[in-house]
Structure 1
C-alpha cells in the first residue's frame, strides 16, 4: 500500500533533484546536462549581487510574514468555532460553504477581485462613491497590493485549512468536557484547558511544515495580480523565476533562485523543529 506513495516521491521529488546540477553550469538544452560547461558559483554570485535581489527578497519576506501572521491562525480559530456548533446539520452546511472557495482556481479568484474592486463599475468603489468617498485604486496601487493578496488567500484557503484541525478535535475525549463542566468550567475555560492543548502538537507540526514553504508565496495568484504600477512591491522569487527562466531561457540562473528558496526553507524547518523539541513538543523528527 505504501508503494504508490513511495513511487510518487521518488519520481516527482527525488529524481528532479538531479536538475539542480545545472545551477553550476551554463546549461544549454541542446547539449544537455552532461555536456554543458561547468561554471561553479558564477550564477550564485550574479544572483546575490544583482540589483533586484534586495527587492525580491524584501517583497517575498513581507508577503510570507503577512501570510504567516494573518492567515495561519485563521483555520485554527475557524475550526474551534465550528467545533462549538452542536447542531450537526448546521455545522456540515457551514463546513461545505467555507470549503468551496478552495476549489475555485486563482484565475477565477482574481477575476472576482477585478469585478469587485475595479474603479470602472466595481461594486466596492461604487459603494465608496455613493458615500461621497474617493474611489481607491485597489488593483493597481502598490499600497493595496499586499492587502489584496493576503485577503484572497484568506478567503480561498481558510475553510480548507480547518480539515486537519477538525480531525484532531474529533479525537478529544468527550468525558474531559463533561468532567470540566461538572467542575464548573465555562465554555472559554474548556476551550483553553482542553481543546487547545489537544491540538497543540498538530498546530506545531503544521507550523513547521509551513516554514518549509515560507518563501513560496504562490506564482499564479501574484502573476495574475501584477502590473506595471505594483510590480515594485509585487515581484517575488516565484514570478522572477518565470521571467528569467521561461521567458528569457536562463535555466541555470533561475535554478539558483529555486535552490536558494529551498535552502532557506530547509534551514527554517530544522531550526523550528529543534525549537519545538526544546519546548517539549515532538516535532517532525
Structure 2
C-alpha cells in the first residue's frame, strides 16, 4: 500500500543478491512486458552453491505464461521465485485475492494470515496462476542462504503449518477451474508427499518438541489428514501410499516413519558397498 514505484521486489533478510540485481530484473521486465520477472536462484548450503533451475524442462530465454509454470512448482521446485520482481498493481490484486480465499474443506484450516511463515507457498502459485507473462533474468542471481536458526529450520509446531498452506494452493486451483488433468494429479502428488513427510517428521522430532508444540503439531496433522482424500489422490500416488493413507491416521504416521527409517538404512547400506 505504501509503495510508490511501479514494481515490488521482496527479498528475505538473510539472503543476498548479485550486483545490478534490480537493474537486470527491470531491464528484462521492460523487454518482455512480463508481470513477473524472476532471477536465477542459488541454494547456498555447506559451502556449495546449487542453481535451482531445471534447464531440461525450462529455458531462461523464453517467456512463459504463469499457468504453464505452476506444474513446475508442485512436488518439486524446478525454478526459484525468491527475489522476483512484480508489477505493483498485479501484486496487490493477487495478494488481495489470496487473503480473501475461502476454503471448502472438511476440517477448518488455520487462516493464512496466522501462518505467515508459509504464506509464500500459496502466494507464489497464486501469482503464477494470474500472470500472462513470466520471464527469467539470467544475470540476476538470488543467493538463498541456509540459516539453521531461521523460522523455517527451527523444530516447532509452526513448521507443520505448510499443510494448511497446501489447502490454499488446492483451493486456488479449484477457483481457477482446475479439478482434473495432469496439473491436478501433480497437485495430488504434492499434497500426498508433503503430508507423508510431515507425518514421519512428527515421530522423528517428537523428543525435540515441547509438550505444547507436540499438541499443536498433532492438531495440524489430524486436520490435514481429515482434509486429504486418498480416493482423489489415487491416480497420482503409488498403491503403497494409497494403502498407508487408508490404514487410519495413527497407523499412517507410524508406517511413514518406518518407511523413512528403512529408506535411510538402505541408503547407508548402499554407501558401504
TM-score (structure 1 length as normaliser) = 0.25
Greater percentage in strand: 2
Greater helix content? 1
TM-score by length of 2: 0.26
